[in-house]
Amino acid sequence: MGVLKSEDTDGSIGNLQGILANTDPQMGLPITGANSADGLMPGFGSTLTILGISNELDIFDQTVGSSFVVTNSALNIFGGVQGVTPSNHVLLGQFTTNGDFGFNLNLQLLTPVPGESELYVASTPTGTELTDPTLTYYTNPNGGVGIEETVAEVALSIDYTVYPNPTSESFAIRQTGNMTQSNFDYTVTDLSGKTVVSGHSNAKTTQVDATNLQTGIYLVTMTQDGIVSTSKLIKN
């Protein structure tokens, strides 16, 4: 079962193909050697249903120099999936490449109401779909594969913006639109799910100190009247 390396409690389970053998500290916890954590735990994944795809999947047999291109196709786990660790993070995919790389994610999340769900798309929503720009990933123009924000402010689904993004010292949470009230709670969590900053605000614009945060990617979550909205924040 794929988990975050920071949540790996059994160390390295080994890899006969030599894949993921790095010990570079910039990649987080080492995969081999002392304190190893390869992000894998013994277990069995959920059954995957493939729709509209045939031999296009051959690229994932480690064939070098191939491309994976499909149209109106999907890889599904009907009934959904739940994470195996307390953070409930779910591994969607793991890729190793030195070429161009990018994709958009569409997510369907169950709500507390039985039989109801919310649909999130990276762009061009239809019907009741919600847009979340953080679902878009593509090659970093500065070299290598990474996440690159193309705007100074990231719009959230309930009329908030977080800026500047990326930031090196502090950032602001600002309410936009015609909001009737400004009381909200906010939390900043790292990618392991650990809360590193939290607070409450009753102002239209709230400054948050990020100087003590390590370089990396964080999630900023705002909660107001039971509505939750999350944005990605990059700390330089």
> Quick one: pLDDT at residue 149?
37
- Per-residue pLDDT tens for 160-183? 788 888 888 899 888 765 555 568
User: What HEC string does 12-34 produce?
Assistant: CCCCCCCCCCCCCHHHCCCCCCC
Neighbours of 185 (CB within 10 A): 13
Q: Which of 55-64, 79-88, 153-162, 208-217 shows the highest mean pLDDT? A: 208-217
Q: Per the structure block, which two tokens stand in for 188?
A: 């900043």
Task: Give the angle subtended at the CA of 230 by the CAs of 154 and 45, to the nearest 5°.
Answer: 120
> Quick one: pLDDT at residue 188?
92
User: Does 17 have pLDDT greater than 60?
Assistant: no
Does the predicted TM-score (pTM) go above 0.85? no
Residue the block writes with tokens 């969590």: 189
Say if strands 205-209 and 170-175 run parallel, antiparallel, or are unpaired. antiparallel
What gap in Å lies between CA 26 and CA 41, rounded to an integer? Answer: 22
Split at pLDDT 50, 70, 90, the class of 141 is very low
> Quick one: pLDDT at residue 198?
92
Q: Where are the beta strands (DSSP E) in 30-155?
A: 49-51, 74-76, 102-104, 107-110, 117-121, 130-131, 136-139, 145-146, 154-155
Give the chain's mean pLDDT. 75
Q: How many CA atoms lie within 13 A of 38 on its CB side?
A: 17
What gap in Å lies between CA 91 and CA 113, rounded to an integer? Answer: 25
Positions of CATH 2.60.40.10 in the chain: 152-236
What gap in Å lies between CA 74 and CA 78, rounded to an integer? Answer: 11
User: Does 208 have pLDDT greater than 90?
Assistant: yes
**CATH topology assigned to domain 152-236:** Immunoglobulin-like (2.60.40)
> Quick one: pLDDT at residue 147?
38
Residue the block writes with tokens 């919600």: 130
